[in-house]
A and B are shown apart, each in its own frame.
Chain A
Amino acid sequence: MSFIANLPLFCIVASLVCSVISSVLNGKLARWLSMALSLAVAVCSLLVLGMVWQNGEPLTYLMGHFPHPWGNEIRLGILESFFSFVFAAVMFLCMQGAKIALTQDLEAGKRQFYFVMTDLIQAALLVLAYTNDIFTGYVFIEICTLASCGILMIRQTGRAILASVRYMIFSLIGSGLFLLGVTILYGITGHLLLPSLHEAAAELWHTGDYRIPLTSSICLITVGLAIKSGLFPFHYWMPDTYGCATPCSSAILSGLVSKGYIFFLLKVIFSGFGTEVFYGSGVQNVLFVFGICGMIFGSIGAIQENDIFRMLANSSAAQIGYVYLGIGISPEAGVIGALFHILTHAVTKPVLFLSASRLSDTAGGSKRFKDLQGSGYAFPLAGFAFSLGALSMIGIPMTMGFMSKYLLAVAGLEATFKAVPTLLALALSTILNTFYFARTIIRLYTPGTPLSSAAPWRAQASFGLSAICFSLLNLGAGISASPLIALLRHGLEFFGKVG
């Protein structure tokens, strides 16, 4: 086994250790540490990706001396390493871009705690991507939840704390359901490691015993993770939460954390239950319906908002709907669309949040649309980044948004009964997106109230770097998406396989 195979373990441990060390550093050092960490993690994940790609098959890495079903394992596949790369890179860009916002929003003495939390989130995302054990998943989901709550409430306004209480309540319901589901699953299969679960579940499915507990555990696990990632009926915490947190937190939460949960759900579906069992149980139809509702109602909510961050939050709810729509359609094409949309959203939403924060800064810190009038001129780069992100969310060709919509639509066409609802939902939600994003952009470029001068050049530089990177990623992946799609398709083949 080549040395590269050890890198994920080192990454995970390194992020845990960094999080512990950061607590005794001061804010600046902690920030550098965690940014270096995410950069290193990104590089390592790329190396792992290269290795797995060459091997052509996934690789299981023992966490200890004992193989499954006895000891913990992690699983190095194409999708796992690729997504951990994406998560790390986006995390790095978020922290890079939100430098000023962080220094403004964080209390001087507690700044390092923020980066403790981001390191923990980094670790949790890595584990959620790599793990091969459903209970390890549960533990790190909890870490992720607590840490997200931490980066939400660190800016201790009343609204922020209230929002994080809501966030905690919702996501604790989610993890409670998830734990119950895992318990029932363990009760009927006696396994926690995904590969063994896979065999056991398949066998139960064929023999047909414990059918009801199996189905109910699938429901509980899916619903739990859906609640945590903010699927439609449970997305009410989103606007408050993203509306009043510091923009970096909103970016990380909407771009990464919820996506981490979804990725873990996909992992459980594919290498845990197995697509046959999951898509036989009919739960995917529920996801499909709620996904569509999320797309529509999220956009409607966004139209009603007059606060730019809350609008973005609502649109995040809509985007989550897209992902679940994809999962609900079909295990092959649909999931490819969903994965691609996860990428799209992870690349687009953070830059929207960050540039929105910059713009509101030029407008004297207000988030209302009427005060943002004309801020596009005061900070051209932010205006450009925001507009590009908005276009991508609308789904204009040559951006990633169009590609993911295209993939979802094609997937929908293959599924006989879901074709028409899918396309209708896509069209309707796209029109709604157009409505509120166009409104915002026009606001930004309508010359209006005299604005406070834009941020100093150095600050702009730190933001500009990440904004440009995000925009380039968006355009690049939108213009030539074929290698990306090929990678996802290739990875998905190995996703279900037991390495």
Chain B
Amino acid sequence: MMLTMILLPALAALALPFLKRRRDKHRCVMLALALEAVLAANALLLPEREMVLFSMTESLTIALRLDGISKLFMAIGAFGFLLTGIYAFRYLEGEEKDDRFFVFFLLSQAALMGMDFSRNLITMYLFFEMITLLSMPLVLYDRTEQAVRGALKYLFYSIAGAFLALGCIFFLSKFCVSLEFVPGGNLDSEKTAGQETLLQILVFLGVVGFGAKAGMYPLHGWLPTAHPVAPAPASAVLSGIIAKAGVLAIIRLIFFCVGADFLRGTWVQQALLGLALLTVFMGSMMAYREKVFKKRLAYSSVSQISYILVGLFFLTPESVLGGLLHVLFHAAIKVCLFLVAGSFIHNTGKHNVDEFVGFGKSMPKTLWGFTLASLALIGIPPASGFVSKWYLALGALDSGLSIYSWLAPVVLLISALLTAGYLLPITVSGFFPGKDAAVPAKNDEGGWSMVAPIWILAGLSLLLGLCAGSLVGVLGSLAASLF
């Protein structure tokens, strides 16, 4: 089951180059994505299960497991890729060699699935590297000078982070009972005795390293460079879904290897929280000041993903619940927003925010989708963003950390205002261009295959908020199980 979910996209990707006609290729991609989604839906209902693929040495095994966390991320991966794929057909139709895109698109989905299912640190690290290597060609797609530069930057940041983390993994292999993931951590208490400081430093490094992929502060630089140059579907999955791989890695590291109790109240927690909050604020700030739409979205991803990290670092069930909720919501919202950006570029060829005047007239469907999603992102009740932020704030307030417990909500609030500040003007100027503004001609907005994904995602970002109760129930128990 898990293996099929990993192999299916990979095989489809390898099959692509051998298909001659363009429509066959698209059929093949479509089929793979749809099957993947079905399998994912099926897997959501399955009980926990695990398997061992093979072992490099006695201590290094490649093993898979299906548990709550992997279900969450796996579902996001499958459905996000499905919608983006549908969108991408139309978006890339101008290109002559778009199968190169789909090959790596599917391959990175396969790697992502592997990462979600991984059962120990080594497996996770392996797939983490694979994701980096396989998703880099998506950024490279245009092969322009900036594309190469962006791809190299992405590669360099991710690998650098990954190797910071690898050092941490090496040490953990000494301090942990085994590298297996055990909820609540499996540190070997007598081995760690006296080594706490070293271990704390290592965990800090590890989190920072994995944080590179999630765009956490010291290593966030690649997002704003890489996303604008990538084609819209690519940047959608990159920042909506693949960036979540970093979050997943951090969750695995903190809650499944080291254990929350080990970090609670130490300087590590303080420092990480500081970084994360700094990232939240700075990301929104940069997004506010940024004029290029995709760059603005990229910065907003930086800040939004750090919301999740803030939630994780507070190490309380509520905050973690908030974080997990935000993983889900942000995935839907950010993918939607990037697809919107893609439609704007594809249909009007405009990148700059100031040029989006009057789009409410020219492409209303897209702009409505955008408006809903941005409302959700800002967190206006009852949209989804509100729920997650609510739990984040709760978790922060009763975390018992003197400064952060009140600092965090304030930062979240400011950042929410900034979010409104950098998203809503587009809607406003879109629907109410001044009298003398030149309203662009109406166009077909790329047909249903580009509009439908946007609307589905926008709808999700509302509905998930409306029916948040059940979600909170499920994810709440999941979050509680981590402690």
Q: Report A-B touching, CB under 8 Å.
A: yes
Query: What residues of A have a CB within 8 angstroms of the CB of B163 in the complex?
Result: 427, 430-431
B60→A431 contact, CB < 8 A: no
Query: What residues of B have a CB within 8 angstroms of the CB of A403 in the complex?
Result: 56-57
Within the assembled complex, what's the spacing in Å between the Cα atoms of A397 and B133?
12
A481-B155 contact, Cβ under 8 Å, with A396-B129, A397-B126, A447-B143: no
Query: What residues of A have a CB within 8 angstroms of the CB of B449 in the complex?
Result: none
Query: What residues of A have a CB within 8 angstroms of the CB of B159 in the complex?
Result: 394, 430-431, 434, 438
Query: What residues of B have a CB within 8 angstroms of the CB of A413 in the complex?
Result: 170-171, 174
1/0 per residue, CB under 8 A from A, across B127-138: the answer is: 001000100000
1/0 per residue, CB under 8 A from A, across B149-180: the answer is: 00110011001100110110011011000000
Whether A479 sits at the interface, judged by CB under 8 Å, is: yes
Whether B190 sits at the interface, judged by CB under 8 Å, is: no
* Cβ contact of A446, chosen from B148, B155, B156, B166, cutoff 8 A: B148
B54→A482 contact, CB < 8 A: no
A434→B54 contact, CB < 8 A: no
A479→B152 contact, CB < 8 A: no
B125→A423 contact, CB < 8 A: no
A435→B156 contact, CB < 8 A: yes
B173→A410 contact, CB < 8 A: yes
Whether B55 sits at the interface, judged by CB under 8 Å, is: yes
A481-B56 contact, Cβ under 8 Å, with A397-B129, A398-B126, A413-B171: yes
A442-B56 contact, Cβ under 8 Å, with A396-B129, A409-B170, A447-B143: no
B152→A439 contact, CB < 8 A: yes
B161 nearest in chain A by CB position: A431
B148→A442 contact, CB < 8 A: yes
Query: What residues of B have a CB within 8 angstroms of the CB of A430 in the complex?
Result: 159, 163
Among B107-130, those with CB < 8 Å from A are: 122, 125-126, 129
Within the assembled complex, what's the spacing in Å between the Cα atoms of A397 and B166?
11
Whether B83 sits at the interface, judged by CB under 8 Å, is: no
A406-B143 contact, Cβ under 8 Å, with A434-B159, A442-B148, A480-B54: no
Whether A485 sits at the interface, judged by CB under 8 Å, is: yes
* Cβ contact of A481, chosen from B57, B143, B151, B171, cutoff 8 A: B57
Whether B140 sits at the interface, judged by CB under 8 Å, is: yes
Whether B93 sits at the interface, judged by CB under 8 Å, is: no
Query: What residues of A have a CB within 8 angstroms of the CB of B122 in the complex?
Result: 397
**Tally of A-B residue pairs with Cβ under 8 A?**
67
Whether A478 sits at the interface, judged by CB under 8 Å, is: yes
Within the assembled complex, what's the spacing in Å between the Cα atoms of A492 and B347?
67
A427→B171 contact, CB < 8 A: no
B201 nearest in chain A by CB position: A420
A397→B57 contact, CB < 8 A: no
Q: Smallest distance from the beta carbon of A465 to chain B beta carbons, Å?
A: 23
Within the assembled complex, what's the spacing in Å between the Cα atoms of A438 and B148?
11
A446→B56 contact, CB < 8 A: no
Q: Smallest distance from the beta carbon of B108 to chain A beta carbons, Å?
A: 15
Number of interface residues, chain B, beta carbon within 8 A: 28
B56→A423 contact, CB < 8 A: no
Query: What residues of B have a CB within 8 angstroms of the CB of A485 in the complex?
Result: 57
Q: Smallest distance from the beta carbon of A261 to chain B beta carbons, Å?
A: 28
Whether B58 sits at the interface, judged by CB under 8 Å, is: yes
Query: Which of A394, A431, A481 has the most C-beta atoms of chain B within 10 angstroms of its own C-beta?
Result: A431
B148→A434 contact, CB < 8 A: no
Query: What residues of A have a CB within 8 angstroms of the CB of B164 in the complex?
Result: 427
Query: What residues of B have a CB within 8 angstroms of the CB of A391 in the complex?
Result: 133
Query: What residues of A have a CB within 8 angstroms of the CB of B170 in the complex?
Result: 406, 409-410, 413, 423
B125 nearest in chain A by CB position: A397
Within the assembled complex, what's the spacing in Å between the Cα atoms of A355 and B482?
49
B57→A438 contact, CB < 8 A: no
Q: Smallest distance from the beta carbon of A482 to chain B beta carbons, Å?
A: 4
Query: What residues of B have a CB within 8 angstroms of the CB of A438 in the complex?
Result: 152, 155-156, 159
Query: What residues of A have a CB within 8 angstroms of the CB of B133 in the complex?
Result: 391, 396
Among A407-428, those with CB < 8 Å from B are: 409-410, 413, 423-424, 426-427
Within the assembled complex, what's the spacing in Å between the Cα atoms of A222 and B140?
47
Q: Smallest distance from the beta carbon of A397 to chain B beta carbons, Å?
A: 4
Query: What residues of A have a CB within 8 angstroms of the CB of B155 in the complex?
Result: 434, 438
Within the assembled complex, what's the spacing in Å between the Cα atoms of A413 and B170?
8
* Cβ contact of B140, chosen from A424, A442, A478, cutoff 8 A: A442
A434-B156 contact, Cβ under 8 Å, with A413-B170, A442-B151: yes
Q: Smallest distance from the beta carbon of A124 to chain B beta carbons, Å?
A: 33
Within the assembled complex, what's the spacing in Å between the Cα atoms of A447 and B163?
30
B57→A423 contact, CB < 8 A: no
Within the assembled complex, what's the spacing in Å between the Cα atoms of A413 and B59?
15
Within the assembled complex, what's the spacing in Å between the Cα atoms of A439 and B151?
10
Q: Smallest distance from the beta carbon of B138 to chain A beta carbons, Å?
A: 13
B152→A482 contact, CB < 8 A: no
Among A267-302, those with CB < 8 Å from B are: none
* Cβ contact of A431, chosen from B56, B57, B58, B160, cutoff 8 A: B160
B175 nearest in chain A by CB position: A413
The 8 A-B pairs at the shortest CB distance, nearest first, are namely A397-B126, A482-B57, A409-B170, A434-B159, A427-B163, A423-B167, A431-B160, A413-B174
Q: Give 23 pairs: A residue, B residue, CB < 8 Å, sorted on A.
A: A391-B133, A397-B126, A397-B129, A403-B57, A406-B170, A409-B167, A410-B173, A413-B171, A423-B171, A426-B167, A427-B166, A430-B163, A431-B159, A434-B160, A438-B152, A438-B156, A439-B152, A442-B148, A442-B152, A447-B143, A480-B54, A480-B56, A481-B56
A430-B159, A434-B159, A438-B155 given; name 11 further pairs at CB < 8 Å: A396-B133, A397-B125, A397-B126, A409-B170, A423-B167, A434-B156, A438-B152, A439-B152, A442-B140, A446-B143, A479-B56
Question: Interface residues, chain B, CB within 8 Å of chain A?
Answer: 54-58, 60, 122, 125-126, 129, 133, 140, 143, 148, 151-152, 155-156, 159-160, 163-164, 166-167, 170-171, 173-174
